[in-house]
A and B are shown apart, each in its own frame.
Chain A
Amino acid sequence: MSATGDFILKAERLTKRFGGFAAVSNVDLAVERGTIHALIGPNGAGKTTCFNLLTKFLQPSDGAIFFNGRDITRMPPADIARLGLVRSFQISAVFPRLSALENVRIALQRQRGDSFDFWRSEKALNRFDGKAMAGLDEVGLAEFAATPAGELSYGRKRALEIATTLALDPEMLLLDEPMAGMAQEDVSRISALIARIAENRTILMVEHNLSVVADLSDRITVLARGQVLAEGSYEVVSRDPRVVEAYIGVGHG
């Protein structure tokens, strides 16, 4: 990783107030193209709020967001997804009553543009089946193609969610606590998957657990009480006394 200064996502003075309470205040964030950037912090630090602001699921009270140099501060979330900035969710976000194959195909179907053709048979979607199957195979879910997503185990739901997101072939991925609530063997499998999909795209991930991001991320931003506390590589950040106090000091080893 070299400091080329080519930033794919930039946030300036990002602020979100709920009533009188500023959940996020004056956060500056710059994510360099092609890197894995982690946003960490203790509970209530404003990570998820920040994440929702960047993907426009929340409207910022103040500040600006730029994606590929384009001002997206006022853009609705569906349009942002269409620009190639796609998010995941903390709780596994699958379509429970659709089969695993249909889950991935919903993402591939976006290539048709808006699907308002209610008069056409869904056979029109068969052409995406091969690609959807390949996507499932990549995350080890090929044998569950016909299974309703709601019946998959937690780890497999997360894998399915990643396969669905990847089907959009997004330029940048925002992952909201991808390893939350996962068994240890799943954590290492999903870590490996994230490292692999990062080869040709940028990833910003929110994590609670510092050790998870240690090996994975190129750069870490630490949030506390809605503000940026420190930023840098894992080595730099983990030795920062303020981080140790605010983060590890409150009992999260």
Chain B
Amino acid sequence: MTVANTETHPVTLPADLRISTPRHHVVIFAGLLGLLLVAPFVLYPVFLMKVLCFALFASALNLLLGYGGLLSFGHAAFFGSASYVAAHAAKVWGLTPELAILLGTGAGAVLGLGIGALAIRRQGIYFAMVTLAFAQMVFFFALQVPFTGGEDGIQAVPRGKLFGLVDLSNDLTLYFVVLLIVFGGLLLIYRIVHSPFGQVLKAIRDNEPRSVSLGYKVNRYKLAVFVMSATLAGLAGATKAIVFQLASLTDVYWTMSGEVVLMTLIGGMGTIFGPLVGAAVIVTMQNYFAGFGAWVTILQGIVFVVTVLLFREGIIGVIARWTKKAL
């Protein structure tokens, strides 16, 4: 007796099981957009743009970690490389900002394909170590080659004119461009997570051998999500280079890889909105506690320890458990 011919007594499906975009997600996205449209009139736009870039970066990592179950400790490689390529394209080649960002994003994608193809052959901690090792190679490459400017980085990158028309030297104008890029990126991630592809991805995260036994070629899915994550990390890095008019070694250094993992964990990995909250918390601490100097790192450490001890699932993860809603 097969499953197919038991449909003689049809089982009705409860309405709440039907997949549709949950209404609260629409409400949160709309509320967030509304808030971000008003924010630059209240808060410093450059600070907000930094939060936005890191929110996209953390969300890109979360796509890989929270939904693909793959912990990358080398995402600075994609963020930083894209940042260098975008800065170089805008400054030396004189490309318009949108083309510079596109090229930087492409660099993240190509690098992601190369590193991903090798890293996905290993699992768990070994996967993390392979990504870290490759990121270190990218760091030394950035330190040695002339075009990155070594210790100085690429400074005074022109923000240029969007499509050769809109002058981005005004912070407020640039803010709305960055908001468009980042919000678009976040919606894309949301769609990837809630697509037929995302469904298989979550199955592989939950139980890889079982996914194989159902006929899924898991390595292809892992590579695909790795490249997507690297591309979006690249988009964040390239945008950041245009915003701060700077690409530097900090962007490819391993602490950057660690920081983005920290943001994701504090906000809540495997949640849509967690990485945004995590990025906001960390960037706010870095900005407003900057007066404490090296103590910022210690404060970050304390926040991390408290988060791990009190809410293991991260800030949004805990709220999701309390409200029994997927966030």
Contact = CB atoms under 8 A, between A and B. Distances in A.
Q: Which of B194, B196, B199 has the most CB of A within 10 A?
A: B196
B203 A134 contact: no
B199 A122 contact: yes
Interface residues of A, number: 62
B229 to A, nearest CB: 12
Contacts of A116: 197, 220-221, 224
Contacts of B4: 131, 169
Contact of B200 (A94, A115, A135, A138): A115
Interface in B7-41: 7, 10-14, 16-21
Contact of A101 (B17, B215, B224): B17
A207 B7 CA distance: 32
A17 interface: no
Given A118-B198, A131-B4, A93 B210 contact: yes
B1 A197 contact: yes
Q: Which of A79, A118, A136 has the most CB of B within 10 A?
A: A118
B11 A134 contact: yes
Interface string A128-155: 0111011111100010011000000000
Contacts of B224: 116, 118
B215 A168 contact: yes
A119 B215 contact: no
A94 B210 contact: yes
Contact of B203 (A82, A95, A117, A135): A95
A26 interface: no
Contacts of A77: 212-213
Given A102-B199, A164-B214, A93 B13 contact: no
A10 B191 CA distance: 45
B170 interface: no
A117 B195 contact: yes
Contacts of B196: 109, 112, 115, 117, 120, 122, 124-125
Contact of A134 (B10, B191, B212, B217): B10
Nearest to A126: B19
Contact of A78 (B14, B195, B212): B212
Interface in A33-47: none
Nearest to A104: B3
A114 B217 CA distance: 8
Contacts of A112: 196
B215 A110 contact: yes
B207 A94 contact: yes
Contact of B202 (A97, A107, A126, A196): A97
B6 A134 contact: yes
B203 A106 contact: yes
A146 B118 CA distance: 38
B17 A138 contact: no
A93 B203 contact: no
Q: Which of B3, B11, B16, B209 has the most CB of A within 10 A?
A: B3
Given A77-B212, A120-B195, A130-B10, A199 B1 contact: yes
A102 to B, nearest CB: 7
A248 interface: no
Interface in B270-306: 270
B99 interface: no
A66 interface: no
A89 interface: yes
Given A81-B215, A114-B217, A116-B224, A109 B200 contact: yes
A109 B220 CA distance: 17
Interface in A189-216: 196-197, 199-200
A137 B6 contact: yes
Contacts of A94: 206-207, 210
B228 interface: yes
A206 to B, nearest CB: 15
B7 A115 contact: no
A142 B16 CA distance: 14
Contacts of B323: none
A64 interface: no
Given A117-B196, A135-B3, A146 B16 contact: yes
A115 B17 contact: no
Contact of B19 (A122, A131, A164, A168): A122
A40 B271 CA distance: 45
5 contacts: A81-B213, A88-B213, A120-B195, A121-B21, A146-B14
Interface of B: 1-4, 6-7, 10-14, 16-21, 191-192, 194-200, 202-203, 205-207, 209-218, 220-221, 224, 228, 270
Given A57-B209, A109-B199, A129-B19, 10 more contacts: A76-B217, A77-B213, A78-B217, A81-B212, A81-B213, A98-B203, A101-B17, A118-B197, A123-B19, A169-B3
Interface of A: 55, 57, 76-79, 81-82, 86-89, 93-99, 101-102, 105-107, 109-110, 112, 114-126, 129-131, 133-138, 142, 145-146, 163-164, 166-169, 196-197, 199-200
